Amino acid sequence: MVANRNQPCPCGSGKKYKKCCMEKTSIIDLHKRSEEKFYDQKDTLVKMITDFIGGKIDAHVHERLLHIFTMRSGNNIDEDAKSMMFHFFTLFMHRFDNGLRGVEWFYKDKGSKLNSNIRAMAKEWTSLPFRLVHAVEKTDEIYIFEDVITKNTFQVPNIRENIPENLEIFDGTIGLLELHNNKYYFNGVRVYMAPKHVDQAKGKIESLMNKTGLSYEEVMIDYTLEVLAAMLNKDGNRFKFTDKDVSILEELGLEHLPDYAMDFLSFYKEKTVGKKGNTVRKYRESLHDLNEVLKRNHYQCLADIDEEGWRKLLSKEYFDMYETMTKTQITDLISTIKAMSQWMKKNKKATLLEELTAFLKQEESQFINGVQLPYSFSPNRTGNVGVTFHEMAKLITGQISAYEEAVEGVFEIISCNKKSFRVLGIRLTDGSVGKPGEEYTITGADIQMDYVEDGLIFSGKIAKGRRNIWELLEINKGYPRTAKEFLQEEDYVRML
């Protein structure tokens, strides 16, 4: 039952209701309405800044920002929180090419067009400092947070939007604290961690201050994600990347930070220190290619790849990545993998298979000739208008007959001499005459026989010529002999 304003207050104070609890209730209601209005205004402003930034960047820039975010955060942020934290990163942490953070860019461009309340809030957000804070006291209504570095304290309302229910004393976070009605409210996404993780963040801040000469406030603006990564790290500082490291990781395509990222980075830095030109290019491009084939086949850890897995990756999947390759490209890759295998063994890392070096040494000529064979085919080599014209020329000169059907598919070279080579049909496309397992003798007139080697695999097209010998009409892709088992296991013939 609600008391009349002039009746005695139900609390038993002896005062009239209007002079006692009615005033307290009114104050609470006013504060609650003010708080609700404050949060509504925050939501409105966040949406406005988000829409503004979304209109300024395209999909390519968005992807690049996500790569930067992942690298700088050390891949320590849980997938469930990653989307929200990345959004917060684009608004308050990342400096765009114009030198401004998202909130600063928005205020500069749109500030004068905002209503007074939104404009005042936006202006305040441009100057809010990131702080490392932890809870030091608690009441039913208030938590007292202390800045771990400056020791300044902040009264923070104990409400659901502001504080998680299970927060313990000395748990901490990195965040922006916004003043409203003489109390502080956290702005945006934050993650609360136990005291030992807060200490990790503190150590990172102090290290960066010593290293860069920046103040605490400057470190927290320029290195927010690095400090956050240190706080979230549960694996004993699994990743530690400098700005130069980040640049190298981008060049090597390692933005997704697989388990082998640090090994690739350390190996690259050791092999290229003080080097220039071709040496740097060799290791950069070869490691990029190796990482790309690992990434396409969803490998995160080198220890997950057995001997058969490596054969498939290098013999087939790597060759399938490119329409054309060069001898330099394949020899550089082989050399780099051999060197890295020795480097990992020397440094007692998670080693590549010891058999891998022996495998590459044994199959090196197959890999090189597998690359050079398609390029040695005269229409491919001379930049002819196309193999259809090559086929037409053979028809006109009578080398093949229009009535003969072609055989198209994947072939294995089983023997060769100086003028011709014999192949076995491994897999044939629909419509081809003949059957898998049949053999064909092909003239070597249109190909450099130096690159024809027993065991090589190629995809292409042949047709019956004069004197019971077959003519080579197309050659699309070459493979080393070790690719055979993996080409046979597929449900189709890949014609590249």
Q: What is the pLDDT of residues 44-88, one digit of tens each?
A: 999 999 999 999 998 888 888 887 887 777 666 777 677 888 898
Which of 76, 430, 25 minimizes the C-alpha distance to 230? 76
* Residue-level pLDDT at 151: 95
Residue 85: what are its φ and ψ, rounded to 5°? -70, -35
Q: What is the pLDDT of residues 148-201, one digit of tens each?
A: 999 999 999 998 888 888 889 999 999 999 999 899 999 877 788 889 899 989
Angle among Cα 66, 67, 72 to the nearest 5 degrees reads 100
What is the token pair recorded at 198?
């807060």
What is the token pair recorded at 325?
């390759």
pLDDT tens for the 496 residues of the chain, in order: 444 555 677 676 666 655 566 555 544 455 577 788 888 898 999 999 999 999 999 888 888 888 788 777 766 677 767 788 889 899 999 989 898 999 999 999 999 999 999 999 999 999 999 999 999 999 988 999 999 999 999 999 998 888 888 889 999 999 999 999 899 999 877 788 889 899 989 998 998 898 888 999 999 988 898 898 888 876 544 455 677 888 898 899 887 778 788 889 989 999 998 888 899 999 999 999 999 999 888 887 787 788 889 999 999 999 999 888 899 999 999 999 999 988 887 776 555 666 788 899 999 999 999 999 988 886 654 444 444 555 555 554 555 555 467 888 899 999 999 889 999 998 888 767 778 889 999 888 778 888 999 999 999 988 887 767 888 888 889 999 999 988 876 543 433 3
Residue 198: what are its φ and ψ, rounded to 5°? -65, -40
Which of 129, 128, 148, 101 minimizes the C-alpha distance to 42? 128
* Dist CA 43 CA 38 (whole Å): 9
* Residue-level pLDDT at 271: 92
φ/ψ region of 151 (left if φ > 0, alpha if ψ in -120 to 50, else beta) reads: left
* Residue-level pLDDT at 20: 64
What is the token pair recorded at 344?
């990992």
Nearest 10 degrees: CA dihedral of 337, 339, 340, 346?
150
Helix axes 354-376, 327-346, angle to 10 degrees: 170
Residues contacting 181, CB < 8 A, separation 6+:
31, 34, 35, 38
